[in-house]
Chains A and B, each alone.
Chain A
Amino acid sequence: DQQVKQNSPSLSVQEGRISILNCDYTNSMFDYFLWYKKYPAEGPTFLISISSIKDKNEDGRFTVFLNKSAKHLSLHIVPSQPGDSAVYFCAASPSGNTGKLIFGQGTTLQVKP
Protein backbone atom coordinates (compact mmCIF):
# COMPACT_ATOMS: atom_id res chain seq x y z
CA ASP A 1 0.00 0.00 0.00
CA GLN A 2 1.81 3.06 -1.31
CA GLN A 3 0.97 5.93 1.06
CA VAL A 4 3.06 8.46 -0.88
CA LYS A 5 2.85 8.36 -4.66
CA GLN A 6 4.69 10.10 -7.42
CA ASN A 7 2.77 9.08 -10.49
CA SER A 8 5.13 10.56 -13.06
CA PRO A 9 8.33 8.52 -13.37
CA SER A 10 9.96 11.19 -15.51
CA LEU A 11 9.68 14.81 -16.61
CA SER A 12 11.56 16.74 -19.28
CA VAL A 13 11.63 20.56 -19.44
CA GLN A 14 13.59 23.22 -21.26
CA GLU A 15 16.17 25.29 -19.42
CA GLY A 16 14.63 28.50 -18.05
CA ARG A 17 11.08 27.10 -17.91
CA ILE A 18 9.17 25.93 -14.86
CA SER A 19 9.42 22.35 -13.61
CA ILE A 20 6.46 21.04 -11.62
CA LEU A 21 6.83 17.77 -9.76
CA ASN A 22 3.78 16.26 -8.14
CA CYS A 23 3.16 14.01 -5.18
CA ASP A 24 -0.03 12.53 -3.72
CA TYR A 25 -0.55 10.97 -0.32
CA THR A 26 -3.30 8.98 1.31
CA ASN A 27 -2.75 9.45 5.05
CA SER A 28 -4.29 12.63 6.46
CA MET A 29 -2.19 12.18 9.62
CA PHE A 30 1.05 13.15 7.90
CA ASP A 31 2.24 16.38 9.51
CA TYR A 32 5.41 17.24 7.61
CA PHE A 33 6.46 16.89 4.00
CA LEU A 34 9.89 17.03 2.42
CA TRP A 35 11.51 16.97 -1.00
CA TYR A 36 14.87 15.35 -1.65
CA LYS A 37 17.06 15.46 -4.72
CA LYS A 38 19.31 12.58 -5.75
CA TYR A 39 22.11 12.53 -8.29
CA PRO A 40 23.43 9.20 -9.61
CA ALA A 41 25.95 7.51 -7.30
CA GLU A 42 25.13 9.92 -4.46
CA GLY A 43 22.77 9.81 -1.51
CA PRO A 44 19.63 11.97 -1.53
CA THR A 45 20.04 15.53 -0.29
CA PHE A 46 17.37 17.52 1.48
CA LEU A 47 15.87 20.26 -0.66
CA ILE A 48 12.84 21.87 0.97
CA SER A 49 10.09 21.04 3.44
CA ILE A 50 6.63 22.18 4.53
CA SER A 51 4.61 21.73 7.66
CA SER A 52 1.01 20.58 7.34
CA ILE A 53 -0.15 23.86 8.90
CA LYS A 54 1.17 25.81 5.90
CA ASP A 55 0.23 25.75 2.24
CA LYS A 56 3.37 27.21 0.72
CA ASN A 57 7.07 27.39 1.43
CA GLU A 58 9.62 29.11 -0.77
CA ASP A 59 13.40 28.89 -0.90
CA GLY A 60 15.05 30.64 -3.81
CA ARG A 61 14.06 28.92 -7.04
CA PHE A 62 12.19 26.19 -5.18
CA THR A 63 8.62 26.43 -3.90
CA VAL A 64 6.56 23.67 -2.36
CA PHE A 65 2.76 23.88 -2.34
CA LEU A 66 0.54 21.79 -0.10
CA ASN A 67 -3.15 21.17 -0.77
CA LYS A 68 -4.41 19.25 2.24
CA SER A 69 -7.95 18.82 0.99
CA ALA A 70 -6.64 17.13 -2.14
CA LYS A 71 -3.80 15.38 -0.27
CA HIS A 72 -1.43 16.71 -2.87
CA LEU A 73 1.86 18.54 -2.84
CA SER A 74 3.97 19.90 -5.63
CA LEU A 75 7.48 21.23 -6.09
CA HIS A 76 8.00 24.14 -8.47
CA ILE A 77 11.44 24.97 -9.79
CA VAL A 78 11.71 28.34 -11.53
CA PRO A 79 13.75 28.84 -13.62
CA SER A 80 14.91 25.30 -14.26
CA GLN A 81 18.62 24.76 -14.84
CA PRO A 82 20.51 21.79 -16.34
CA GLY A 83 22.08 21.17 -12.92
CA ASP A 84 18.59 20.46 -11.58
CA SER A 85 18.52 17.23 -13.59
CA ALA A 86 18.19 14.52 -10.93
CA VAL A 87 15.71 12.18 -9.29
CA TYR A 88 13.32 13.97 -6.93
CA PHE A 89 11.67 12.16 -4.04
CA CYS A 90 8.84 13.49 -1.95
CA ALA A 91 8.56 12.20 1.61
CA ALA A 92 6.03 12.45 4.41
CA SER A 93 6.40 12.21 8.15
CA PRO A 94 3.62 10.53 10.15
CA SER A 95 2.46 12.50 13.18
CA GLY A 96 3.86 11.46 16.53
CA ASN A 97 7.46 12.47 15.97
CA THR A 98 8.66 8.94 15.32
CA GLY A 99 11.37 10.14 12.97
CA LYS A 100 10.16 7.92 10.17
CA LEU A 101 9.77 9.20 6.64
CA ILE A 102 7.72 7.54 3.93
CA PHE A 103 9.07 8.16 0.46
CA GLY A 104 7.47 8.23 -2.95
CA GLN A 105 8.85 6.33 -5.92
CA GLY A 106 10.73 9.31 -7.33
CA THR A 107 10.50 11.41 -10.50
CA THR A 108 13.46 11.78 -12.82
CA LEU A 109 13.74 15.38 -14.01
CA GLN A 110 15.72 16.20 -17.13
CA VAL A 111 16.37 19.86 -17.88
CA LYS A 112 17.50 20.35 -21.46
CA PRO A 113 19.88 23.22 -22.31
Chain B
Amino acid sequence: DVKVTQSSRYLVKRTGEKVFLECVQDMDHENMFWYRQDPGLGLRLIYFSYDVKMKEKGDIPEGYSVSREKKERFSLILESASTNQTSMYLCASGSPPWEQYFGPGTRLTVT
Protein backbone atom coordinates (compact mmCIF):
# COMPACT_ATOMS: atom_id res chain seq x y z
CA ASP B 1 0.00 0.00 0.00
CA VAL B 2 1.25 3.44 -0.96
CA LYS B 3 1.71 5.68 2.00
CA VAL B 4 2.00 9.44 1.85
CA THR B 5 2.39 11.13 5.20
CA GLN B 6 2.25 14.80 6.10
CA SER B 7 3.96 16.22 9.15
CA SER B 8 0.91 17.83 10.74
CA ARG B 9 -2.87 17.42 10.48
CA TYR B 10 -3.61 20.84 11.96
CA LEU B 11 -1.41 23.91 12.19
CA VAL B 12 -2.03 27.43 13.47
CA LYS B 13 0.47 30.14 12.59
CA ARG B 14 0.66 33.90 12.87
CA THR B 15 0.86 36.31 9.95
CA GLY B 16 4.45 36.78 8.84
CA GLU B 17 5.75 33.49 10.23
CA LYS B 18 7.74 31.09 8.05
CA VAL B 19 5.88 27.81 7.74
CA PHE B 20 7.22 24.41 6.71
CA LEU B 21 4.95 21.61 5.57
CA GLU B 22 6.64 18.25 5.16
CA CYS B 23 5.57 15.33 3.02
CA VAL B 24 7.08 11.85 2.83
CA GLN B 25 6.18 8.99 0.48
CA ASP B 26 7.36 5.40 0.74
CA MET B 27 6.83 4.10 -2.81
CA ASP B 28 9.89 5.47 -4.60
CA HIS B 29 7.71 7.71 -6.82
CA GLU B 30 9.47 10.18 -9.07
CA ASN B 31 6.72 12.79 -9.01
CA MET B 32 5.50 14.70 -5.99
CA PHE B 33 2.94 17.49 -5.78
CA TRP B 34 1.58 20.14 -3.45
CA TYR B 35 -2.04 21.32 -3.75
CA ARG B 36 -4.33 23.49 -1.77
CA GLN B 37 -8.03 22.79 -1.48
CA ASP B 38 -10.51 25.60 -0.95
CA PRO B 39 -14.33 25.42 -1.00
CA GLY B 40 -15.71 25.92 -4.49
CA LEU B 41 -12.25 25.94 -6.06
CA GLY B 42 -11.31 22.29 -5.95
CA LEU B 43 -7.65 21.30 -5.80
CA ARG B 44 -5.18 23.79 -7.19
CA LEU B 45 -1.59 22.85 -7.92
CA ILE B 46 1.02 24.95 -6.14
CA TYR B 47 4.29 23.22 -7.13
CA PHE B 48 5.41 19.85 -8.31
CA SER B 49 8.68 17.98 -8.61
CA TYR B 50 9.58 15.22 -11.05
CA ASP B 51 13.02 14.48 -9.62
CA VAL B 52 15.30 15.29 -6.72
CA LYS B 53 16.22 18.98 -6.71
CA MET B 54 13.86 19.58 -9.65
CA LYS B 55 10.73 21.66 -9.27
CA GLU B 56 8.16 23.33 -11.43
CA LYS B 57 5.56 25.95 -10.68
CA GLY B 58 1.96 24.96 -10.70
CA ASP B 59 -1.01 27.26 -11.12
CA ILE B 60 -0.70 29.26 -7.88
CA PRO B 61 2.98 29.37 -6.80
CA GLU B 62 2.98 32.93 -5.48
CA GLY B 63 3.93 33.12 -1.82
CA TYR B 64 5.24 29.54 -1.75
CA SER B 65 8.50 27.73 -2.37
CA VAL B 66 9.45 24.05 -2.26
CA SER B 67 12.41 21.84 -1.55
CA ARG B 68 13.18 18.31 -2.65
CA GLU B 69 16.55 17.15 -1.36
CA LYS B 70 15.64 13.46 -1.20
CA LYS B 71 13.38 11.44 -3.46
CA GLU B 72 10.94 10.54 -0.71
CA ARG B 73 10.56 14.00 0.81
CA PHE B 74 8.94 17.13 -0.60
CA SER B 75 8.59 20.25 1.52
CA LEU B 76 6.32 23.25 1.00
CA ILE B 77 7.49 26.54 2.46
CA LEU B 78 5.42 29.62 3.14
CA GLU B 79 8.07 32.33 3.38
CA SER B 80 5.83 34.81 5.19
CA ALA B 81 2.42 33.41 5.99
CA SER B 82 -0.63 35.51 5.22
CA THR B 83 -4.28 35.04 6.13
CA ASN B 84 -5.19 34.23 2.52
CA GLN B 85 -2.99 31.14 2.81
CA THR B 86 -5.39 29.64 5.32
CA SER B 87 -6.38 26.42 3.57
CA MET B 88 -6.18 22.64 3.40
CA TYR B 89 -2.81 21.60 1.97
CA LEU B 90 -2.53 18.23 0.26
CA CYS B 91 0.62 16.44 -0.80
CA ALA B 92 0.59 13.72 -3.45
CA SER B 93 3.03 11.40 -5.17
CA GLY B 94 2.76 9.28 -8.28
CA SER B 95 4.41 7.01 -10.79
CA PRO B 96 3.17 6.66 -13.56
CA PRO B 97 2.37 10.30 -13.35
CA TRP B 98 -1.35 10.20 -13.81
CA GLU B 99 -2.51 8.33 -10.73
CA GLN B 100 -1.57 10.40 -7.75
CA TYR B 101 -1.70 9.17 -4.17
CA PHE B 102 -2.57 11.74 -1.56
CA GLY B 103 -1.62 12.30 2.04
CA PRO B 104 -4.28 13.09 4.68
CA GLY B 105 -3.82 16.83 4.38
CA THR B 106 -2.74 19.65 6.68
CA ARG B 107 -5.33 22.21 7.67
CA LEU B 108 -3.38 25.44 8.10
CA THR B 109 -4.89 28.47 9.80
CA VAL B 110 -3.02 31.77 9.63
CA THR B 111 -4.20 34.36 12.15
Contact = CB atoms under 8 A, between A and B. Distances in A.
B42 A100 contact: no
Among the interface residues B9, B92, B99, which one has the most CB atoms of the partner chain A within 10 A? Answer: B99
A41 B104 CA distance: 7
B73 interface: no
Among the interface residues A32, A97, A99, which one has the most CB atoms of the partner chain B within 10 A? Answer: A99
Contacts of A105: 40-42
Size class of the contact patch on chain A: 20 to 34
Contacts of B102: 36, 43-45
Contacts, number: 61
B50 to A, nearest CB: 6
A7 B10 CA distance: 30
B45 interface: yes
Interface of B: 4, 9, 31, 33, 35, 40-45, 48, 50, 58, 90, 92, 94, 97-105
Given A49-B98, A99-B48, A101-B100, 12 more contacts: A4-B42, A34-B99, A42-B105, A43-B105, A44-B102, A46-B101, A89-B42, A91-B43, A99-B50, A99-B98, A100-B45, A105-B40
